[in-house]
Amino acid sequence: MNRNKRLVSILAILMLFFALLYTTSAFDLPTLPAEFCGFVRLNGKPAPAGTEIVAKINDEVC
The pLDDT value recorded for residue 43 is 92
What's the pLDDT at 53? 86
User: What is the reported pTM?
Assistant: 0.37
The domains of the chain are located at 2-61
Per residue of the chain (62 residues), what is the pLDDT tens digit? 688 889 999 999 999 888 877 766 656 667 788 788 888 898 999 999 888 888 889 988 87
Predicted local confidence at residue 47, as pLDDT: 92
pLDDT at residue 28, as a whole number: 64
Locate the DSSP E strands across the chain.
41-42, 45-46, 56-57, 60-61
